[in-house]
């Protein structure tokens, strides 16, 4: 009886795990634009991690700030000199059901996101666009957008760096995960 119950639970859990469709990208692009000593600075990374669950419409992402490069020697060395990695995590729910259908129109969304950094969480509005690939051989959708942040809200105390930054990303949702 106990073995039968375990088998039933195994098959039921297997069914539900296959029913959820999760897409991911582990090397997405992110660009952060700010101002340092009165000059525009652009920090870039190709190490944005992103997961999108098409069943629940929930997405989560993560970027290790040590992967950012600005091209400004002082700022890059400051980023690399940090002993520990500082990860910025974000999550949200896409407020539209149209993107769940296989061939959806281009969607322009305002998505509430929660950003976590330095043990602090804040809410922001992400302006995003989701485009379905006409030929989904290499990717399913392209998700891109921007959000405006104030770094002082996360206790990033960087002298001569202006508080207001713009974060832009361009994410191809690539691989189906089971």
Selection from 155, 165, 160, 126 nearest residue 31 by Cα = 165
Q: Where are the beta strands (DSSP E) in 37-119?
A: 39-53, 58-64, 87-93, 107-117
Q: What pLDDT is recorded for position 87?
A: 83
Q: Domains in the chain: how many in total?
A: 1
8 in a domain, yes or no? Answer: no
Q: What pLDDT is recorded for position 44?
A: 93
Residue range(s) defining the domain that contains residue 73: 21-177
3 in a domain, yes or no? Answer: no
SS3 at position 143: strand
Instruction: Write out the DSSP string of 112-137.
Output: EEEEEETTEEEEEEEEEEEEE-SSTT
Q: What confidence tens digit (pLDDT) does each residue in 118-173 have?
A: 888 888 888 888 887 776 555 567 778 888 888 888 887 677 788 888 888 877 66
Question: Which range, of 28-32, 68-72, 152-156, averages the lowest pLDDT?
Answer: 152-156
Residue 62 scores a pLDDT above 80: yes
14 in a domain, yes or no? Answer: no
Selection from 88, 98, 95, 87 nearest residue 127 by Cα = 95
The CATH number covering residue 37 comes to 2.40.128.110
67 in a domain, yes or no? Answer: yes
Q: What confidence tens digit (pLDDT) does each residue in 79-130 have?
A: 888 766 778 888 888 776 665 666 667 888 888 888 888 888 888 888 888 8
69 in a domain, yes or no? Answer: yes
45 in a domain, yes or no? Answer: yes
DSSP state of 17: H
């Amino acid at each position: 009886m106990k073995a039968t119950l375990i088998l039933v639970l195994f098959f039921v859990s297997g069914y539900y795990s296959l029913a959820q469709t999760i897409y991911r990208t582990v090397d997405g692009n992110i660009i952060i634009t700010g101002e340092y000593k009165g000059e525009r600075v652009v920090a870039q990374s190709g190490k944005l991690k992103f997961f999108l669950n098409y069943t629940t419409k929930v997405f989560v992402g993560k970027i290790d700030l040590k992967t950012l490069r600005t091209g400004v020697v002082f700022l890059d060395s400051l980023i690399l000199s940090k002993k520990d990695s500082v990860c910025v995590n974000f999550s949200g729910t896409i407020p539209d059901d149209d993107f769940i259908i296989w061939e959806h129109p281009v969607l322009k969304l305002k998505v509430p996101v929660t950003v976590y950094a330095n043990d602090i969480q804040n809410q922001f509005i992400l302006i995003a666009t989701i485009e379905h690939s006409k030929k989904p051989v290499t990717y399913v959708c392209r998700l891109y957008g921007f959000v405006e942040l104030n770094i002082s809200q996360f206790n990033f105390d960087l002298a001569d760096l202006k508080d207001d930054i713009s974060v832009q990303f361009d994410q191809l949702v690539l691989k189906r995960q089971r």
